[in-house]
């Protein structure tokens, strides 16, 4: 799965989708998708990422208390 890094606009390949969907984890492993060479994996904050369309990630992926608040 690919997401967009908000500040740079670069695409990020998410290496573990289960980590992305876990609201208890604030970071995930990914790598920039740029150039012809495979980039090294890095930690990315979920707050820095969005869908390629610019839409925010679902709240249930980033907020562990999403059920208890409005």
Would residue 18 count as lying in a domain? yes
How do residues 1-31 score in pLDDT, each as one tens digit? 999 999 999 999 999 999 999 999 999 999 9
- The answer to whether residue 70 is domain-embedded is no
> What is the H or E stretch that residue 61 is in?
helix 59-62
- Arithmetic mean of pLDDT, 34-51: 93
Residue 69 placed within a domain: no
Residue 47 lies in a domain: yes
pLDDT of 50 higher than 70: yes
Tell me how many domains the chain contains: 1
What whole-number distance in Å separates Cα of residue 30 and Cα of residue 66? 24
What is the residue range of 19's domain?
Answer: 2-62
Across the range 37-56, mean pLDDT stands at: 95
Mention every residue, 6+ apart, whose C-beta is less than 8 A from residue 2.
11, 12, 13, 14, 33, 52
34 band by pLDDT with thresholds 50, 70 and 90: confident
Q: What is residue 70's predicted lDDT score, i.e. its pLDDT?
A: 60
């Amino acid at each position: 799965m690919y997401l967009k890094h908000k500040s740079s606009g670069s695409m990020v390949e998410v290496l573990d989708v289960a980590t992305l969907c876990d609201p208890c984890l604030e970071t995930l492993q990914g790598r920039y998708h740029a150039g012809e060479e495979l980039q090294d994996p890095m930690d990315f904050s979920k707050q820095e990422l969005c869908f390629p369309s610019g839409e925010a990630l679902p709240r249930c992926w980033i907020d562990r208390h999403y059920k208890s608040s409005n």
